[in-house]
Amino acid sequence: MKSDKDGTKQKVIEAAISLFNVQGYSGTSIRNICERADVNPALVSYYFGGKKGLLEYLMTSFFENYLKAIEHENTNGSARDLLIETLRQALYYQQSKHDIARFVHREITLDTMLVREVMSTYLMKEKHVYYEILKKGMDRLEFKKQPIDFIIIQIRGMVTLPFLHPQYIREVHHLIPHEEYFILHYIEYLTTWIDQYLCERQTKEESLASS
Amino acid sequence: MKSDKDGTKQKVIEAAISLFNVQGYSGTSIRNICERADVNPALVSYYFGGKKGLLEYLMTSFFENYLKAIEHENTNGSARDLLIETLRQALYYQQSKHDIARFVHREITLDTMLVREVMSTYLMKEKHVYYEILKKGMDRLEFKKQPIDFIIIQIRGMVTLPFLHPQYIREVHHLIPHEEYFILHYIEYLTTWIDQYLCERQTKEESLASS
Amino acid sequence: MKSDKDGTKQKVIEAAISLFNVQGYSGTSIRNICERADVNPALVSYYFGGKKGLLEYLMTSFFENYLKAIEHENTNGSARDLLIETLRQALYYQQSKHDIARFVHREITLDTMLVREVMSTYLMKEKHVYYEILKKGMDRLEFKKQPIDFIIIQIRGMVTLPFLHPQYIREVHHLIPHEEYFILHYIEYLTTWIDQYLCERQTKEESLASS
Amino acid sequence: MKSDKDGTKQKVIEAAISLFNVQGYSGTSIRNICERADVNPALVSYYFGGKKGLLEYLMTSFFENYLKAIEHENTNGSARDLLIETLRQALYYQQSKHDIARFVHREITLDTMLVREVMSTYLMKEKHVYYEILKKGMDRLEFKKQPIDFIIIQIRGMVTLPFLHPQYIREVHHLIPHEEYFILHYIEYLTTWIDQYLCERQTKEESLASS
DNA sequence: CATGAATGAGCCTTCATTCAT
DNA sequence: GATGAATGAAGGCTCATTCAT
């Protein structure tokens, strides 16, 4: 007689994540998950209303918190500092859930109804967050005028890729994406990118001084 | 007329690509593919030795040509020009095969044996190509000294994302990634990124002049 | 009521046996079996781990009990009586499972790994049983000295053939192998064979008297 | 362009036999056979009218010659000698085709239409051959009066088993059934069986003398 | 809450065979 | 005579899910 005290539900979630990571959602069977979690397969239907429900649960809870992490009420500071802070949050959040991040970023490239919904809510908002910061920066002449969409695309690529494709980072570049060490250096790199590429020349020295 | 003149094999390939794109490899069944191709399901095994073989065929042929596209024998010019040319080739090649590109970029984030093999050959070489260009640029003082691995990661993100996740580009940014129009502007954007971020300040005006 | 009370597993077993009998193992499909058992095809994998597992189950359980039937702890009596008793047990056991016996005897003539295992355990033991009896009989001068291996081969032929090939018995000799009537006469025949062929002359009358 | 000069048909036959032996008829695929024979699978249909036709061809040609071997026009001698000669022929014929013999003996235990036909012609005749000899022997008082059917069953078991189940002979008794050596000893054993079991006592010494 | 029997649909693959060449 | 592309049917098995317990 098992109660949820031993975290049956949690065990399913963890097993699912680690398998989705490696094999993808479609490539992973419920049996697969439940064997690893040492749990009865019927429970997935019971808890999440089926395999699809499990995916939905994982995706939305990931993005829900992701947005919370990158949205800031306090927008007083410089656009540059705000952007850096946002990227930092995005990276740290993903680091803390790097296992979910990976398969979510992958799964979201498919053409499912779920994906379209997720995209039209969360990714829309994500874009908005960056847009506001960049707009503000350009208005205040902190940032050079450049096509905002392209910048956001570039940002999303930079923020996303290390968690979508950690093997690449690991095996080709011999860096470990979800280690503190990597994150720190990566943020540093992104900061110089912001300063040298986004920011107006004169602002650069100032901002460096202010950091 | 029972001959390959009507391109049975080709029909399978095309159907597979378009379905893999939308549903992923695991999410697509052979029946699925062959219905769309209006062809007998046994042919997949006949031609490719199974579903896995079909994936392998698509992946390797994609990467094989991808590498051919980005490798240049003529490395006389400036590192900056070489880099731009390389990115242009990478983008145009992917544009020409944007349907394959998408699912290949997605599928390569899994942990399969096939993926490991592909990564350790093709992505290793891709890195090498960029590495040589960046190294040369830094040696010749065209480029600022910066951590090469991070630059390559950034580059790969920029070059890859529009084809891995075209919906995002399309629905969130209202741009169409595999249209001439997009590519042109995107290359332009990448060029200013190279000039303003990678290149030494003084070199910038010169290089702009020389282009 | 979805329980095993209605003997789902048993129904599968019975259907399998009767079909293996007629069509052989390879010639029988799981769908075939389950249609006849009025049961879902997935159950074969569920209960036996696949078609092969079903065969293995039937074979080993047949031989397991076969050996129990022909092994006797009480070996006090004459070798002749012991041999007759052993043959009687072998025949009666097979009669009680004549449907399994037939396809097991047939299937065991193939070159499978399963067959090799079965042979090296059960048939080895069967030989041993006969060997001990015959050896004892020869040592006690009940039996004439003759090549034991040949005798065992002959015995196995006699004990096996009516159940391996009942049609032959039925259609060519118009006898029905798994009827009490047949068995009784067959045992009688075997007894005279033992007495007249195996036993020393003088022992014959005695043993006939003692029976 | 291959002609039958290189024995395409023969290659198919040989490959089929050796595979039927090991895997049984149903367990062997045409592809299987033709790969081993290095021949195009379509040829089996072309030559034999399908897989079933191939089996039929092998079975009937085996039995056709088997009957020729055991039927003797010259029935002048003693029944004992005739029986021995018949058994010798049966054994030597099977030895010369031991590979076919094995799977034919196995396949004939199934319940196919082909099998029923074969049985009702060839095995009927085989029985007849033995019946005539035994009848003659009993009429001439060479043989003791005993149920003829049982004797024939016993004979068929003895003559058949070493070729139906050579592994058993080999692995359990460490004898090699299709070697000259085995056959010679086996015939010797059968002879003593005939003399001591079938023949009338007094006849025995005579017949030993006459041999 | 948790289980395991049971299901029906679907999976990928192999089958024997045909037919144009 | 021989090939290889192509087929439709069937192969064994796994799938996600349901339901009585």
User: How does DSSP classify residue D8?
Assistant: H
Looking at the domain assignment, is residue B19 inside a domain? yes
Do D180 and D111 meet the contact criterion of CB atoms below 8 Å apart? no
Residue closest to A64 by CA, chosen among A112, A121, A127? A121
Residue at the smallest CA–C1' distance to nucleotide E14? B42
If asked whether residues D45 and D58 sit together in one domain, one would say: no
- The string of pLDDT tens digits covering residues C14-30 is 999 999 999 999 999 99
Q: Which nucleotide is nearest to D54 (CA to C1')?
A: E16
In chain C, what's the furthest Cα-to-Cα distance? 67
Q: Which of residues 13-52 of B touch strand E (CB under 7 A)?
A: 28-32, 41-42, 44-46, 50-52
Task: Report the 10 Å Cβ neighbour count for A45.
Answer: 13
Which residue is associated with the tokens 């990714």?
A123
**D148-156: Cβ within 8 A, 24+ apart:** D149/C173, D149/C175, D150/C185, D150/C186, D150/C189, D151/D198, D152/C173, D152/D127, D153/C158, D153/C161, D153/C162, D153/C169, D153/C173, D154/C154, D154/C157, D154/C158, D154/C193, D155/D87, D155/D130, D156/C161, D156/C168, D156/D126
Note the pLDDT of residue B6: 67
Does the pLDDT of residue B209 top 60, yes or no? no
How many contacts (CB atoms, under 8 Å) link A and B? 133
> From the CA of B1, how many Å to the C1' of F7?
14
Distances in whole angstroms, Cα of residue A100 to Cα of each of A41, A106, A111, B162, D9:
21, 10, 19, 22, 61
Note the pLDDT of residue A3: 45
Task: Report the 10 Å Cβ neighbour count for A70.
Answer: 21
Q: Coil, strand or helix: which one is C77?
A: coil
Do D106 and C106 meet the contact criterion of CB atoms below 8 Å apart? yes
Which residue is associated with the tokens 């034919």?
D104
Which residue is associated with the tokens 């088993």?
D161
Q: DSSP for D24-89?
A: -STT--HHHHHHHHT--THHHHHHHSSHHHHHHHHHHHHHHHHHHHH--S---S-HHHHHHHHHHH
Q: Which two tokens stand for residue D168?
A: 């058993």
Looking at the domain assignment, is residue B123 inside a domain? yes
Residue closest to C198 by CA, chosen among C158, C156, C141, C159? C141
If asked whether residues C62 and C149 sit together in one domain, one would say: yes
Distances in whole angstroms, Cα of residue A175 to Cα of each of A9, A154, A186, D158:
33, 21, 11, 74
Let me know if B85 is exposed, middle or buried by CB neighbors in 10 A (0-12, 13-18, 19+). Answer: middle
Sort out which chain C residues have CB atoms less than 8 A from D165's CB and list them.
108-109
Phi, psi of B88 (to 5 degrees): -60, -45
Q: Tell which of A10, A27, A49 closes a domain.
A: A49
Task: Report the 10 Å Cβ neighbour count for C73.
Answer: 5
If asked whether residues D97 and D154 sit together in one domain, one would say: yes
Q: Which nucleotide is nearest to C5 (CA to C1')?
A: E5
Q: What CATH number should be reported for the domain holding residue B33?
A: 1.10.10.60
Residue at the smallest CA–C1' distance to nucleotide E18? D42
Looking at the domain assignment, is residue B64 inside a domain? yes
**B contact test, residue of A23, A110, A131, A151 with most B CBs within 10 A:** A110
Mean pLDDT for the stretch of residues D164-171: 96
Helices (H), chain B: 8-23, 30-37, 42-48, 51-70, 79-96, 98-107, 113-118, 124-139, 148-164, 166-167, 173, 180-193, 201-210
Q: Which domain holds residue A104?
A: 58-210
Looking at the domain assignment, is residue D15 inside a domain? yes
Distances in whole angstroms, Cα of residue A64 to Cα of each of A110, A125, A161, B74, B172:
20, 11, 20, 49, 18
Does the pLDDT of residue B149 top 70, yes or no? yes
Q: DSSP for C137-194?
A: HHHTTSBPP--HHHHHHHHHHHHHHHHH-HHIIIIIH---TTSHHHHHHHHHHHHHHI
Q: Which two tokens stand for residue D157?
A: 């078991």
Closest chain B C-alpha to A157 CA, distance in angstroms: 5
Note the pLDDT of residue A1: 39
Per the structure, the count of domains in chain C is 2
C104: Cβ contacts below 8 Å, ≥ 6 apart: C58, C59, C62, C63
Looking at the domain assignment, is residue B2 inside a domain? no
Q: What CATH number should be reported for the domain holding residue A174?
A: 1.10.357.10
**D contact test, residue of C25, C110, C198, C201 with most D CBs within 10 A:** C110
If asked whether residues A14 and A77 sit together in one domain, one would say: no
Sort out which chain B residues have CB atoms less than 8 A from A204's CB and list them.
none
- The string of pLDDT tens digits covering residues A165-193 is 999 999 999 999 989 999 999 999 999 99
Residue closest to A45 by CA, chosen among A35, A31, A27? A31
Residue closest to A118 by CA, chosen among A58, A176, A165? A58
If asked whether residues C192 and C127 sit together in one domain, one would say: yes
If asked whether residues C82 and C39 sit together in one domain, one would say: no
- The string of pLDDT tens digits covering residues B59-117 is 999 999 999 999 987 778 899 999 999 999 999 999 999 999 999 999 999 999 999 99
Least CB–CB distance from D193: residue in C109, C149, C197 = C197
Looking at the domain assignment, is residue B1 inside a domain? no
If asked whether residues C144 and C129 sit together in one domain, one would say: yes
Q: Which two tokens stand for residue B84?
A: 């731009």
Q: State the chains in contact with C (3 or more Cβ–Cβ pairs under 8 Å).
A: D
Rounded to the nearest 10 degrees, how much is the dihedral formed by the CA atoms of A151, A153, A154, A158? Answer: 140
Distances in whole angstroms, Cα of residue B19 to Cα of each of A35, B24, B207:
30, 7, 44
D43: Cβ contacts below 8 Å, ≥ 6 apart: D8, D9, D12, D34
- The string of pLDDT tens digits covering residues A105-118 is 999 999 999 999 99
Distances in whole angstroms, Cα of residue D157 to Cα of each of A57, B134, C141:
69, 84, 27
If asked whether residues D145 and D162 sit together in one domain, one would say: yes
Which residue is associated with the tokens 């927008």?
A75
Does the pLDDT of residue D91 top 80, yes or no? yes
Do A151 and A129 meet the contact criterion of CB atoms below 8 Å apart? no
Do B154 and A193 meet the contact criterion of CB atoms below 8 Å apart? yes
Sort out which chain C residues have CB atoms less than 8 A from D169's CB and list them.
153
Contact between D193 and C164 using a beta-carbon 8 Å cutoff? no
Phi and psi based region of residue A139 (left: phi greater than 0; alpha: psi -120 to 50; beta: remaining): alpha
Compute the distance between CA of residue A20 and CA of residue D162 in angstroms, rounded to an integer: 56
Q: State the chains in contact with B (3 or more Cβ–Cβ pairs under 8 Å).
A: A
If asked whether residues B23 and B62 sit together in one domain, one would say: no
Q: Which two tokens stand for residue B165?
A: 């996740």
Residue closest to B160 by CA, chosen among A105, A147, A193, A154? A154
What residue ranges of chain C have pLDDT lower than 50? 1-3, 202-211
Note the pLDDT of residue A113: 93
Closest chain D C-alpha to C167 CA, distance in angstroms: 8
If asked whether residues A102 and A14 sit together in one domain, one would say: no
Residue closest to A158 by CA, chosen among A122, A124, A130? A130
Q: Which two tokens stand for residue A81?
A: 């500092």
Compute the distance between CA of residue B41 and CA of residue B18 in angstroms, rounded to an integer: 17
Q: Which residue of A has its CA nearest to B182?
A: A150
If asked whether residues B78 and B109 sit together in one domain, one would say: yes
Percent of chain D, pLDDT > 70? 91
Compute the distance between CA of residue B106 and CA of residue D170 in angstroms, rounded to an integer: 57
Do A181 and B181 meet the contact criterion of CB atoms below 8 Å apart? no
What residue ranges of chain A have pLDDT lower than 50? 1-3, 202-208, 210-211
Compute the distance between CA of residue A26 and CA of residue B24 in angstroms, rounded to an integer: 8
Residue closest to A107 by CA, chosen among A13, A26, A11, A16? A26
If asked whether residues B116 and B156 sit together in one domain, one would say: yes
> From the CA of A67, how many Å to the C1' of E1?
34
Q: Which residue of B has its CA nearest to A144?
A: B196
Q: Which two tokens stand for residue D207?
A: 């017949």
Do D183 and D91 meet the contact criterion of CB atoms below 8 Å apart? yes
Distances in whole angstroms, Cα of residue C181 to Cα of each of C92, C186, C188, C211:
12, 9, 11, 20
Note the pLDDT of residue D129: 96
Note the pLDDT of residue C57: 96
Mean pLDDT for the stretch of residues B6-23: 93
